[in-house]
Amino acid sequence: MSNVEKEPGPQGSSPEIAEPEKRKRQYKDFGEDEEKPTHANIDMSKIELKAEDLYDKEKVDLETIVIGDVFKLLQCDENGLAPEEAVRRLELFGPNKLESEEQNAFLQFLSFMWNPLSWVMEAAALVAIALSNGDHRPPDWQDFVGIVFLLFVNSSIGFYEERNAGNAVKALMDSLAPKAKVKRNGQWSEIESSDLVPGDMVSFKIGDIVPADCRLTDAINVSIDQAALTGESLPQSKKVGDQCFSGSTCKQGEAEGVVIATGPNTFFGRAASLVGQDDDTTGHLQKILAQIGSFCLVTIGIFVIAEIFVLYAGFRFRYRRGLDNILVLLIGGIPIAMPTVLSVTLAVGAQQLAKYKAIVTRITAIEELAGVTILCSDKTGTLTTNKLTIDRNTIRTYGPFSADDVILLAAYASRTENQDAIDASVVAAIGDTSRARAGIKLLDFKPFNPVDKRTEITYLEESTGKLKRVTKGMTGIIIELCTRNKTEEQENRLEADVEEYATRGLRALAIAYEELDGDDPEAEGNGFELIGLLAIFDPPRADTKQTIDDALALGVKVKMVTGDQLAIAKETGRRLGLGDHMYPAKVLKEGPAPGGKHASLDEMIMDADGFAGVFPEHKYEIVKRLQGLGHLCAMTGDGANDAPALSRANVGIAVEGATDAARGAADIVLTEPGLSTIVHAIRQSRIIFQRMRNYSIYACAVTIRIVVCFAILSFAYKFDFPPFMILIIALLNDGTIMTLSLDRVLPSMTPDSWDLAEIFSFAVAYGLYLTASTVALVCIIMETTFFQDRFGVRLSGGSYLPQGSNDKQLHMIIYLQVAIISQALIFVTRSHGFFFMERPSVALMGAFCIAQLVSSIIAAYGNWGFTSIERISGGWIGIVWVWNIIWFVPLDWIKFAMKATVIKSLRHRRENKMAQEASTGIPIVRTQSRATSIHESLYSNRVSFIRRAARRVGLGGKVSVKPEELQRFSSIQAQRVGATLARNPSRTA
């Protein structure tokens, strides 16, 4: 590809001084470096190789060893395998396809009912329907139906979301070529691609998908588009001995090759094996639910145990009476609809994101996006357009023509139909593509071919009637053609310009021009003259720089992770203002250089602006390490090579035009070009996060308030509150709180994190204060006649005093007081200042008013025989409303007091801890909690015991693609293919 002279020229043909200069001169264009094939460093006369030899890539690498050694290593020849040998190898290596798990829908639905929050719901239902059947009373059907209803709603929402999520491995499978042309026993035939084995001879042509990883044995003008696999900007020209990847597309020519890897062992298959590798791990939101659930469970557990001892052992309650009191704590204490409320909040958020042309395939990713601190982005097709362009600002001219003239002449020397990527970019550079043939008459055109490495046009200029010729192509080839006006100074300048292009990752395209005398278009011209040098590059998208600036303003650091060369990555980083502090992928294996500024690989990854020349396992490793350092990481990409990292990242984002594999692995899929949607998504996710945080404080506070309040009342007054009324409170509360999904909140300007210590501190303060409001009201009614004397109200049957602690009207009074002030708490938890300074949404305010109206109507008319309540007069309803207003006002002052004392102390201690961890290199933990969490994995929707049960009864498929040590793909191929054949030889030496 280069005109570098490998041997000295003939002596005496030119002065001795010029000879060395000519030998040294080279126009090494960007991307021209070639790796020469090597030999396997083993004794190839022994076909039965030892497996340990094949584990050493220095000895065997099926990607780079000479093609003859490949045939020897794989025990095959160019006539193909014998059918019986193909069958034997199919058994050894397995089919050339990826297997995925098919999960039974019913068991998947049941899995959503398997977590501690659901267990408490199920336990309460069990208590209501089975254990409550005693003391000559029927089962508590009302509570049972209500609890089961909420449980099924929650599970149905989760199941619906799960079933609609994309299956990444299936998308990868669908991308494989279904048919393949293979030679067996010297005869070509078409077979299912899944039947291919290592050692098979295959053939493919333009438009075909390469069916398996192979090394070419015959290639005619072959160009392969493997951008979706490797991230390279251009289709790659392939010659004999080169490797082609399974799943790539043949864009030009036709080829034959020997299969070196199939199925999960291919480059494509390894990407698939990394997708969903951590599928069974607990998601971030599940961890938060686990810790919030643990807090509620511990609180409930303490008071349930206390009630068992006090009510049964101390007060000698009958079985059914004590059980009703415990049921109150179970129903009222657990945030029974928390998963449902959060799911609705996220679902509404997903609908709002859809307005920005972003499809959310994993709904919990919205919550994680709010906390993302680092955005890792693929370059090709993501930050850039994946469309070659002429950089007009860097055009170099050497002759009498201007830059515009050079581009126009280059367009003359380009095809206007059936264009390759370079011709298309040149013609597009002139603006109006019709100008590429305007004013000239085409006489002869020579398209690009791998031998000449240039195009050439001979044409008649209609305005002058002169014949002219223009050629464009590789710099070294073009300058050798030039004979007119070529000087030493010009060659030196050209060499410097090409070198500058190469260092910036720009591909050079030289243009030369000559005129012809006479009318013969095939005649010799007056000699080519170099007139210009064009720079070709893949430009950034128009909105990418603004997107990066916006992301940085939101506290999100952006890192480029690309399969392209380092020089291209640096140039793109400079153009985007991203920085050019980038490293090649090899540092991920070798680590930082000794004595350098980075003490560890983690420190280098954090400091870098990006990495170049990466493969799927490198992207995966970068994301994994960033997560190990305590960061929530987002990854954007468009190709199958991005799928593993998209799957591993906390939030995988597939850009517009992404492959099915990338869309399947991603959590968010963009349907419009550009990355500006990501900034909208980050802002929207932070709004959603604030809504969920507000609800979490509210839910935990209500748990404290219900459990502590009714436990104290039962201990102090043997107060038996009816469980059904607690269920009514829960239904009305949750119905109101679901409107939080539409609430007006402001997004934060920094990444959000779940500081559960703060949430629980606020919850305890609010909960105890509201408990005091209820206990004080009961005490006044039970111990005094204050309300009767002042307002002339009466209780059951016109009685002046309550008929004991379990007066039915007293139950109704407490129901109304708890229902009103519990719902009103949301206005305090949703605001950062005074509650009246931050206007709620119309939906939230409307739902609150409706719920209070319903509660008041129930209090006024609710004579229900199946539960222990009785309607109360309007006077009592008014008293309760005034009482709650008086107790509600100080809630804001409690919030401010908590911020000034407890919360300030917690934040100061956390900042000191993070500073200490940063200095020692210990990863930070963004999810803070002071509650001891029970096993977080129990909150995962995918439950191991259900999977085992499914397999025992034959439901669902077996997962065959398993996580393995992350290694270079060629090493995997060498290990799998060669080692297996070594252990199972088909013939001896």
Mention every residue, 6+ apart, whose C-beta is less than 8 A from residue 761.
Answer: 898, 902, 903, 906
Q: Give the separation between CA 298 and CA 933, rounded to whole angstroms.
A: 9
598-635 burial code (b ≥16 CB/10 A, e <16): beebbebbbebbbbbbbbbbbbbbbbbbbbebbbbbbb
Q: CA nearest 100: which of 960, 750, 972?
A: 960
In this structure, the dihedral spanned by the alpha carbons of residues 713, 716, 718 and 722, taken in order and rounded to 10 degrees, is 0
Q: Give the separation between CA 570 and CA 583, rounded to whole angstroms.
A: 9
Read off the amino acid at residue 507. Answer: R
455 DSSP 8-state letter: E
Strands 213-225 and 187-192: unpaired
Q: Give the separation between CA 274 and CA 739, rounded to whole angstroms.
A: 39
CB distance 469 to 458 below 8 Å? yes
- Residue 416: Cβ within 10 Å count: 16
Strands 610-612 and 582-584: parallel
Distances (CA, A) of 913 to 372, 592, 758: 21, 27, 16
Phi, psi of 704 (to 5 degrees): -60, -45
Kind plus residue range of the DSSP H or E element containing 374: strand 372-377
CB distance 196 to 212 below 8 Å? yes
Q: Hey, CA dihedral for 842, 848, 851, 856, is it positive or negative?
A: negative
- Catalytic residue check, 378: yes
Distances (CA, A) of 732 to 170, 704, 770: 43, 18, 18
Strands 201-205 and 668-670: unpaired
3-state helix, strand, coil in the chain (%, to 5): 50, 15, 35
Mention every residue, 6+ apart, whose C-beta is less than 8 A from residue 734.
Answer: 150, 336, 337, 340, 341
Residues in a beta bridge with 202? 182, 257
Distances (CA, A) of 978 to 14, 160, 217, 301, 799: 54, 45, 19, 59, 94
| Residues in the chain, total | 989
Q: Give the separation between CA 385 and CA 397, rounded to whole angstroms.
A: 27
Q: Give the separation between CA 624 and CA 964, rounded to whole angstroms.
A: 15
Q: Give the separation between CA 101 and CA 441, rounded to whole angstroms.
A: 61
SS3 460: strand
CB distance 213 to 271 below 8 Å? no
Residue with tokens 């390490």: 625
Q: What angle do CA 231, 234, 236 make, to 5 degrees?
A: 95
- Structure tokens belonging to residue 176: 């494989």
Question: Angle of helix 676-717 relative to helix 284-307, nearest 10 degrees?
Answer: 0
Which of 53, 208, 378, 752 is labelled catalytic?
A: 378
Q: CA nearest 375: which of 678, 598, 160?
A: 678
Residue 921's region, left for phi above 0, alpha for psi from -120 to 50, else beta, is: left
Active site residues: 378
